[in-house]
Amino acid sequence: MQNDSTETFSGPPLRRLRVAKGLSLRTAAQRSGIDPGHLSKVERGEKQLSIDSLYRLAKVLELQELHTLLQPYVQQKVPA
């Protein structure tokens, strides 16, 4: 049961986060080096990201904790 103080959000969580950060799909994709079409499918739950791509997207979306957790698993050539 939902009470009045619980805020509901529509749409996939990744898209909500991106929009809350004020980023368009194209901007987030460009800054993270991900194809916009692929990122759109990721947001809809149709595709997945590699660890490297997720690492770059976490940086763009300012998800510092996730970015830090993924750092040991990314290839050294990936820019922070």
User: What pLDDT score does 80 carry?
Assistant: 52
Total domain count for the chain?
1
Q: Is the pTM of this model over 0.95?
A: no
The single residue listed with the structure tokens 């969580």 is: 13
Distance of CA 14 to CAs 5, 11, 61, Å? Answer: 23, 9, 10
User: What pLDDT score does 42 carry?
Assistant: 96
Segment-wise mean pLDDT, segments of 10 residues, the chain, 80 residues: 47 90 97 97 94 96 96 73
Residue 3: inside a domain, yes or no? no
Task: Give CA–CA dist 51/54, Å, rounded.
Answer: 5
Residue 41: inside a domain, yes or no? yes
User: What pLDDT score does 75 carry?
Assistant: 76
Residue 43: inside a domain, yes or no? yes
User: What pLDDT score does 58 carry?
Assistant: 96
Task: Give CA–CA dist 1/42, Å, rounded.
Answer: 30
Q: Domain containing 33: what range?
A: 13-73
CA-wise closest residue to 42 among 57, 30, 63: 57
User: What pLDDT score does 4 carry?
Assistant: 46
Residue 68: inside a domain, yes or no? yes
User: What pLDDT score does 12 carry?
Assistant: 85
